[in-house]
Structure 1
Amino acid sequence: MNIAVVPAKNEQGRIGKVLTMLGETRIDRIIVVVNGSRDNTMREIKSLNMPNVEILYFKPELGVDIPRAIGAYRAFKEGACCVVFVDGDMIGNMLDHINDLISAVKDSGIDLAMTNCYPEIVYGNELTQQLLIFRKLLNVNLGIYHKVGVSTPSHGPHAVSRKFLKKADFRDFAVPPVILAFAVKQDFCVDVATSLPQSKMGSKVRGFYHAVKIAETIIGDTLEALNYFNDKPRTRIYLHREFQGYNPRRRFDILEKFLKKN
């Protein structure tokens, strides 16, 4: 069974398009992790009347990537042999790309299949340049840069195999670069399965403040992954600067409760 995990927070006007698109792919079941929403996201999902959609509802905001971890665990428990992660705001035409990810896992034996969101690296601004430098730093140290470039599970749709899920710590799905480091460390098959430029994803435009915070989050996650890979304490510090971003808002406490109860 192929299951899609879709985090959704205040995605009214978008979530319906994402779920409709997924319904046309090789996905058999969709788990939507609705959290912290104050709009009509839930109503929009229910109005679709899609029998293969399951909603996991959390009143508080879970924080970035925690919904992925929750969805991954639920999908594993439901017997998924391939889990695809797609953000609830991505309204770009991704049907073929989702199928590419599923094919990579189901037909080609890839355990962590990623999307190349930078098929051509153009440093549009200083923030993007800084972020991509850290992404490259991690992938070079993992020994996979020649194969995947700056691709990361933090950015774009990606998929994992059941074999991967059986060994992974589901808490690490909340810090996506760590699952990449884990995959390499455990000799899982990691590769890029499809190419989709950032500009084609149709992600919501959230402003400069969010861009800075999410960049700091991913940089911190990358440092944490690098330290994990090298068997060092999982700090988020580089040259005496700590990169936290949205990390403090991640509700690991709710994730822990969910993992224990389910």
Structure 2
Amino acid sequence: MTARFHGKYRNARHPKVSVIIPVKNEVRTLRRVIHQAYQVHPHTEVVVVANGSTDGSKQLARRMGARVYSYGHSLGLDVGRSIGARKARGRILLFTDGDIIIPAYQLRKLVRAVDNGVDVALNRYSGRPVHKIPLVKHALNLLISRPDLKGASLTTIPHALSRKAVRRIGTRKLAVPPKAHAVAAASGLRMKAVEFIEVGRTNPKKSHHQNRQRIESLIIGDHLEALGAYIRRKGQRGRHTDMGRRRGYAR
């Protein structure tokens, strides 16, 4: 999967890979993010969803050949993923962020996994569940009978989806990544934690204490919503055994 490029950036007319990049005031890093995106595959389109950007991010993205969908106000966390997925034309959808520069060789591993039959290719989490967010990710995977995924989650970029996965999950659910994750598991899609790609240390916006607390609260709520979606599909015990418990006697 060697990428070859000549001259100006441009989206492929018939893309195999769609790289979806939500953006809000990230002009400082966006050029390098888009540059890496175009190197993922020779037949790539870059889809930028700019929500509430005022720093020239959307203009830069257009100059670099990306398809840009612009909104004058903030859409909230992860809604840009849903919009980008709805607009994407590729057979493989790769999701990243405008403020985290990830080398193309790492992104290609997720694309290659989908190309080889995986439906949901995840960033593998290698740490222990000692903080709130890793804990809820581990807990959700345990409850949906995928403990092998450990802390891997659609909450974390980068990740890649097959077109089949997008159809089964639905683009709307991608606005709440843990919910999409749970629905993917309930739908029998092939999910795999492919590669550990460090992203936490490269994202300065998440280091502010008050902002981090708000994000933690949102993500915990997302996981509760995800569990509710799984239960609606798989029953109130999520297909976990009751071991013949005779509840009628407990009156």
**TM-score of the superposed pair, with normalisation by structure 1:** 0.78
CA distance in 1 between partners of 2:199 and 2:64 (Å): 28
For the residues of structure 2 that align with 1:83 and 1:45, how far apart are their CA atoms? 18
Residues 112 and 159 in structure 1, CA contact (< 8 A), matched pair in contact too: yes
* SS of the residue 2:215 aligns to: helix
- Secondary structure (helix, strand or coil) at the match of 2:122 reads strand
Shift of residue 13 of structure 1? 0.7
Q: Partners in 2 of 1:11 and 1:21 — Cα distance? A: 15
- Provide the residue aligned with 2:11 in structure 1: none
Aligned residue for 2:126? 119
Contact 2:129 2:151 in 1 (8 A): no
Which string of whole-angstrom CA distances, capped at 9 and with x for unpartnered residues, describes residues 223-242 of structure 1? 1101110118xxxxxxxxxx
SS of the equivalent of 1:135 reads helix
1:63 matched to which residue of 2?
76
Q: Which residue of 2 aligns with 1:99?
A: 108
Q: Is the 8 A contact 1:97 1:195 kept in 2?
A: no
How far off its partner does 1:28 sit?
A: 0.6
Paired with 1:197 and 1:28, the residues of 2 have a C-alpha distance of: 23
Q: Give % identity.
A: 26
Q: How far did 1:199 drift?
A: 4.1
Cα distance in structure 1, aligned partners of 2:54 and 2:182: 35
- The structural deviation recorded for 1:121 is 2.6
Could you tell me which residue of structure 1 aligns to residue 38 of structure 2?
23
What one-letter code is carried by the residue in structure 2 that aligns with 1:163?
Answer: K
What's 2:53 paired with? 37
Unaligned runs of 5+ in 2: 1-15, 234-251
CA distance in 2, matches of 1:69, 1:161: 14
| 1:72 corresponds to 2:88 | no
Do 1:138 and 1:226's aligned partners in 2 also have CA atoms closer than 8 Å?
A: yes
- SS of 1:205's equivalent? helix
- Measure how far apart 1:205 and its partner are: 3.0
Q: Distance in 1 between matches of 2:141 and 2:169?
A: 19
- 1:131 matched to which residue of 2? 133
Q: After the TM superposition, list the runs of 4 or more consecutive aligned residues in structure 1 that deviate by more than 3 angstroms.
A: none
Contact 1:3/1:82 (<8 A) preserved? yes
* Distance in 2 separating the partners of 1:28 and 1:56: 17
1:50 to partner: Cα distance: 3.1
C-alpha change, 1:56 and 1:181, in structure 2 (3 Å) is same
Q: Please report how far the alpha carbon of residue 197 of structure 1 lies from its aligned counterpart in structure 2 after TM superposition.
A: 2.7
SS of residue paired to 1:67 = helix
Aligned residue in 1 for 2:19:
4
Aligned partners of 1:133 and 1:9: how far apart in 2?
A: 28
**Which letter does structure 2 place at the counterpart of 1:34?**
A
Report the CA distance between 1:40 and its aligned residue. Answer: 1.8
Matches within 5 A, 1:78-227: 78=89, 80-91=90-101, 93-107=102-116, 109-116=117-124, 118-121=125-128, 123=130, 129-145=131-147, 147-199=148-200, 202-206=202-206, 207-227=208-228
Number of aligned pairs?
216
Q: Which amino acid aligns with 2:136?
A: F
Q: Kindly name which structure, 1 or 2, has the bigger radius of gyration based on alpha carbons.
A: 2
